[in-house]
Chains A and B, each alone.
Chain A
Amino acid sequence: MITFYRRLPKFNYLAPTTLDEALSLLAQHQGKARVIAGGTDLVPKLKRREIGEPDYVIDLKGIAGLDEIKQDAHGLTIGALVTIGAVETSPQIQQKFGILAQAAQSMASPQVRNRGTIAGNICNAVPSADSAPALLTIGARLKLISQKSQRTVGIEDFFTGPSRTALTDEEILAEILLPDMPPNSKGVYLKLTPRRAMDLAIVGVAAVAVPEDGVCKDIRIALGAVAPTPLRAKKAEEVLKGQKFDDNLIEKAAKTAAGQARPIDDHRASAEYRRDMVEVLVRRAIKQAIGSQP
């Protein structure tokens, strides 16, 4: 039967004021609770009855200290409640992790960026999530906390499938740790979309290059929307590491990256087009990162 819902399903709304309280509620209502940060993914999913009808929605926004971007000796920490808009406009992020600011700027709309969080974007884990390729190239580490334990997981281990992550029912992604990038590194995030606003990425490519006298000291390439999860194109990286940046080698790396993609056909694009575009975007991203192309 088909009903097109305009209203949300019924649930109880809980607004804990400390992280401990939130974690305790999550543990208590195992599997029957959903956490809300920005709500820009959760609310549409609830409206369309895509994730069933949870008994509880736990709002994290009353918890102090989760909405900060903090600097320490190793890098930056982004709290769970930091919005996409805050990341987009943060001078620290723009300076040290420009690629993430670029990704943030490319997302959705101003209204959604005012509410949605980077943490939420990762936990929603659609293969086209724009923050994911950037975070993969940064090598972000994620602090997952439950009532009983704390663990830190590398972002490359976080995504386990389309809309699936390593997060358990009792855990909250509390912090995203961004280790400082090597000096002289430049990152570029390219997002392929039909329109210039609002669209999900058909292909998302993040590339961070560390050139030294024309030689590739380090290169990190990550792909979004072309596999069940966002992924690092490590084989493509190996093509360039330690080698001189030249057009042929960059092209070879791009082709290798395309080979690492496992895209599907869907109503937004075909697998073939996606794969072809990985090659184009990886090439462009690398060239832009090393400054040989505007």
Chain B
Amino acid sequence: MKEINLTVNNQPYRLSVPPHRTLLEVIREDLGLTGTKEGCSLGECGVCTVLMDGKTVNSCLVLVGEADGKEITTIEGLASSDKLHPIQQAFVDHGGLQCGFCTPGMILSAKALLDKNPHPTEEEIKQGIAGNLCRCTGYAKIIESIKAAADNMGGK
């Protein structure tokens, strides 16, 4: 078994898990945070995206030992008590989601993008979510939602 310490959504956890577990499995099955989804399991679809020390990663590709000592943000960590994060709110308002399965990963990729680049062009938005597949929306309203979030967060 591997002992690890990690912080998830500002909560510290100490876990004892078999070393061949992935961060995705630990988040979903040991911590019960099922907001992060499992899609392709191979790092090709992006639905398992979480922030690890501020950067987006495919959590299905991170071994649990590699997450030791790291700060993880999952979708559950974005909203504050009763208020949605502006990106979440923008997705709600602009229809940036349909079935919702890609949404947690998509929103976190959007967050990583806007944290680094608060006023992205449309091309930069598309590059920022290039690792997140969506099968429902055709991306149109996702891009619109991220633009709106950028506007709202930039205080325009």
Contact = CB atoms under 8 A, between A and B. Distances in A.
Query: Direct A–B touching in the complex (beta carbon < 8 Å)?
Result: yes
A47 B64 CA distance: 15
A10 B65 CA distance: 13
Given A11-B19, A36-B63, A39-B63, A109 B57 contact: no
A6 interface: yes
B43 interface: yes
Contact of A39 (B25, B49, B62, B109): B62
A108 interface: yes
B118 to A, nearest CB: 17
A25 interface: no
Contacts of A9: 20
Interface string A28-44: 00000000100110011
A255 interface: no
Given A112-B43, A112-B58, A10 B18 contact: yes
B61 A115 contact: yes
Interface residues of B, number: 33
Interface in A133-184: none
Given A111-B109, A114-B56, A13 B19 contact: yes
A7, A8, A85, A110 — most chain B CB neighbours (10 Å)? A110
A169 to B, nearest CB: 21
Contacts of B130: 109-110, 196-198
Interface in B1-31: 2, 18-22, 25
A111 B58 contact: yes
Contacts of B112: 110
A72 to B, nearest CB: 28
B58 to A, nearest CB: 5
Interface in A171-229: 196-198
Contacts, number: 89
The 6 closest A-B pairs by CB, nearest first: A109-B131, A13-B19, A197-B130, A13-B65, A8-B20, A114-B55
In this complex, the member of A61, A85, A197 whose beta carbon has the largest number of chain B beta carbons within 10 angstroms is A197
A57 interface: yes
Contacts of A251: none
A8 B131 contact: no
Given A40-B61, A114-B57, A59 B66 contact: yes
A39 B62 CA distance: 7
A271 interface: no
19 contacts: A8-B21, A13-B63, A39-B63, A40-B61, A43-B43, A48-B42, A57-B63, A59-B63, A85-B55, A109-B43, A109-B131, A109-B132, A110-B109, A110-B112, A110-B127, A110-B130, A115-B61, A197-B131, A198-B130
Contacts of A198: 44, 130-131
A43 B22 contact: yes
A111 B63 contact: no
A27 interface: no
Contacts of A11: 19-20
A9 B19 CA distance: 10
Contacts of B22: 8, 43
B41 interface: yes
A111 B46 contact: yes
Contacts of B35: none
B131 A44 contact: no
